[in-house]
Chains A and B, each alone.
Chain A
């Protein structure tokens, strides 16, 4: 099973600052990686798929990069609504297996 490790566990920043979140896979997942945002009391929301593609309706301040085992989610200039928990996720086909990272909590400094 592929393990995804996210860092840092918690990131404290101020609105307007740049956020950089990391996700490392225990083996290569090519570019098959997604990022989700979850706010308290809400279901997760897909932000980025295939490592670097923004999902429908996601603002341009969110960007993803990476391939193989190392991935990054960048929020260029934090808005108040961006403070939430972020998860990375991979899906492998043979055998079919889906795993999530443990999450990064982005909090207001």
Chain B
């Protein structure tokens, strides 16, 4: 069974750093792209970026380029999303999702809620 399990909710202060994770299981982790999607409170879905764990090829949405870093450790089948300096506007639910062979997000993690508040 394909599963993506994300790390737990985080509460941080502005200016702090953060790295959240997404662990894949039940499939060949290195053979599928993993994307990250932001959902701000009460808002829609925004694509942030995507990584191919097999060779770490990473692409970013222009809206998020330079704002976050996406990485993966294929030895432990885990993808990451990180911030070096959080802002209050980073408060959101963040989902990871596997991009299947048909080029769409066929499996999703349960989401990680990030709250940034002073």
Contacts and interface: CB of A to CB of B under 8 A. Distances in A.
Interface string B77-106: 000000000000000000101010011111
Nearest to B57: A96
Given A87-B45, A98-B50, A43 B106 contact: no
B24 interface: no
Given A97-B61, A100-B47, A43 B95 contact: yes
A11 B97 CA distance: 27
Contact of A44 (B45, B50, B61, B102): B45
A102 interface: yes
A39 interface: no
Nearest to A102: B44
A62 B44 CA distance: 21
B35 interface: yes
A50 interface: yes
A75 B105 CA distance: 21
Given A43-B95, A99-B47, A49 B61 contact: no
Chain B: interface secondary structure? strand
Interface string A96-109: 11111111000000
B108 interface: yes
Contact of B103 (A32, A44, A85): A32
Chain B interface bracket (under 10, 10 to 19, 20 to 34, 35 or more) = 20 to 34
Contacts of B35: 98
A1 B50 contact: no
Interface string A37-75: 010000111100110010100000000000000000000
B60 to A, nearest CB: 9
16 contacts: A43-B95, A44-B97, A44-B108, A45-B108, A46-B105, A46-B106, A49-B102, A49-B103, A55-B106, A85-B44, A91-B99, A97-B61, A100-B37, A100-B45, A100-B46, A102-B44
Given A34-B104, A43-B95, 6 more contacts: A36-B45, A44-B37, A44-B95, A44-B108, A98-B47, A100-B44
